[in-house]
Amino acid sequence: MKLTWFGGTTLRLHIGGEVIVTDADGAEHGIERTELLGAADRELPLKAPRSLAVANLKNWRPARRGSALEDDTAPDVQLFDAGGAILIDAPGEKTLLIVTGDVEAPGRWILDAVVVLFGDGEALMRRGRGLLGTLPPKVLVLAGEAGDVEAAFADLRELLEDTALLAMEKGLALEI
C-alpha cells in the first residue's frame, strides 16, 4: 500500500489495486482537487456521514480470501465505518485503520494492521497510547503538524515494543 498525505485529513491511498482519496476538499492550499482525484476509484469523506457498512472493531475480522485455485467471491476492497475511523480491508494488503476520532479497543486483527492517526499532539498521544497499551498494531503512522508529531513520537517511543512508528510528511508518499 502507498499513502500520500496532503494536509488535514486528506490522503491518497493506493491499496488493493484501487486509488482512494479521503477528504479531497481538505487538502492544503495549492493542491488542485482535480489532480488529487485524477484516476481515483473512490472519494471518501472521513468526518462527514458515510454510507458504509458499520464495523465493530472488537469483533471485526478481515475477509477470508481463497487461494488462486479456489473460487474467491470476497469483494476486492472493502470499506467500513468504525465510528471515529475508517477500516479498509484489501486483498494482498495489511488491514488499514484510518483514525480521526476516538475509537473502541480493536480485536486481535490489529496485531497485523497499519493504523494512521490524525490529530493534534494531545490527540495523537492519547490515541496512540490507547492502541499501544492494549493490542498494538504492526505499524502506527502519525499525521499532524511537525511539532505535534515530534511530541507524540517522544511520548510513544517507550511503548512501541514490536510496533513500527512512522510519520507522514505532506506531499510525500509512504509505502508500507
pLDDT digits (tens, 9 = 90+) for 9-43: 999 999 999 999 999 988 888 899 999 999 999 99
Average pLDDT over residues 128-145: 96
Residues 75, 69: Cα–Cα separation, whole Å: 17
Nearest alpha-carbon partner for 149 in 120, 127, 128: 120
Cell of residue 117, nine digits: 492517526
Domain ranges of the chain: 2-175
Q: How far is CA 103 from CA 8, 56, 82, 172, in A?
A: 19, 10, 7, 27
Start-to-end CA span in the chain (Å)? 5
pLDDT band at 111 (very low <50, low <70, confident <90, very high): very high
**In one letter, which amino acid is 123?**
A
Task: Quickly count: other Cβ atoms within 10 Å of residue 71's Cβ.
Answer: 5
